[in-house]
Structure 1
Amino acid sequence: MDTVQKEKNIALIKDVLRNYLLEKGFRNTPERYTILEEIYNMDHHFNVDDLYLLMMQKKYHVSKATIYNTIEIFLDAGLIRKHQFGEKTLTSSSYEKSYFDKQHDHLVIYKKDSDKEIEEIIEFCDPRIQGIKEAIEEAFGVRIDSHSLYFYGTKND
């Protein structure tokens, strides 16, 4: 993506956040916009610790509590998506930006001979899944807004 488009996207998501904060009566703080921009400059999944370290490395003075609270706001605003990739603890949530991303699924590959230690996460989009979604919508008379699909495994030798 070119720089001009990236700047337009950042401006758009900041507007989405601004409108959300206004609608919910939350404070409009510069820290929230800085955190949002850092997330949207990432090209990978992240956890709160990753984001906190990044903010510290860039000399932004935000507490981990601020990041946790901000993450909850972004989730509710539809700006990020939360994942549980089967990490060893239930508090090991991963996140990714979601506002511009198309629906996709995940293949979680564990390291061999490990206790669910993740080696790699592959994002993929298979049109057959869209067909399954449409069949479910028709069978149950519903409209599916989103879905979450994870495959877990290890690499073959």
Structure 2
Amino acid sequence: MSKQSSASLADFLEFMNRKGLNTTSQRRVIAEAFFELPGHYTLEEFYQHILRRDPGIGQTTVYRTLKLLCDAGLAMEIHFSDGITRYEAARPNSHHDHLVCLSCGRIVEICDPRIEKLQHEMAEKHGFSLDGHVHNLYGLCADCRNARSKGQPAR
């Protein structure tokens, strides 16, 4: 297990203890898997990943544990234009934005200090104090654009 994974798991276990909640072996497996799996996952995608680790864990347990991770501030729900909730690890001081393909659903994380600087400048110009933001850019990825130019159906 990586250091980031261990620290995040320790934070989750501490949160559970503080709240007086049971830290079951199933919750532990789910939390470990969540912190080891990079990217953005729907409940169903993550559940399929969990089933490969432990087929005895139910989808409701996975969902409730994801909610607990969000409550602990260790996970975030992300909503793109498709209306499907995805989950990703909340990593302090690791802000990023997203490029989202409207055809295949591919999501690419981007981080550019120029964008961050401009956002803060725009907020200041209009008298806002930023607490956070969501920045998603929608379009077509290169693969989907190439498929369309060749007359092939999108993925």
Q: Give the shorter-chain TM-score range.
A: 0.7 to 0.9
Alignment CA distance shift 1:18-1:71 (3 Å): same
Secondary structure of 1:62's aligned partner: coil
CA distance in 1: counterparts of 2:94 and 2:27, whole angstroms = 24
Matches for 1:114-125 after TM superposition, within 5 Å: 117-118=104-105, 120-125=106-111
CA distance in 2: counterparts of 1:138 and 1:20, whole angstroms = 39
> Which residue number in structure 2 is paired with residue 72 of structure 1?
67
2:12 to 13, 17, 27: 17
CA distance in 2: counterparts of 1:68 and 1:101, whole angstroms = 26
Matches for 1:1-157 after TM superposition, within 5 Å: 6=2, 8-87=3-82, 90=83, 92-99=84-91, 102-111=94-103, 117-118=104-105, 120-135=106-121, 136-137=123-124, 139-140=126-127, 142=129, 144-155=130-141
Question: Could you tell me whether the CA contact under 8 Å between 1:103 and 1:146 is conserved in 2?
Answer: no
Q: 1:57 is aligned with what amino acid? A: R
Q: 1:104 is aligned with what amino acid? A: H
Query: Structure 1 length as normaliser, TM-score?
Result: 0.78
Task: Kindly tell me the number of residue pairs found equivalent between the two proteins.
Answer: 142
**Coordinate RMSD, CA, aligned:** 2.2
Gaps of 5+ in 1: 112-116
Deviation of residue 150 (structure 1)? 0.6
Q: After TM superposition, what 4+ stretches of structure 1 lie above 6 angstroms from structure 2?
A: none
Question: Could you tell me whether the CA contact under 8 Å between 1:32 and 1:70 is conserved in 2?
Answer: yes
Deviation of residue 29 (structure 1)? 1.7
Gaps of 5+ in 2: 150-155
Query: Structure 2 length as normaliser, TM-score?
Result: 0.78
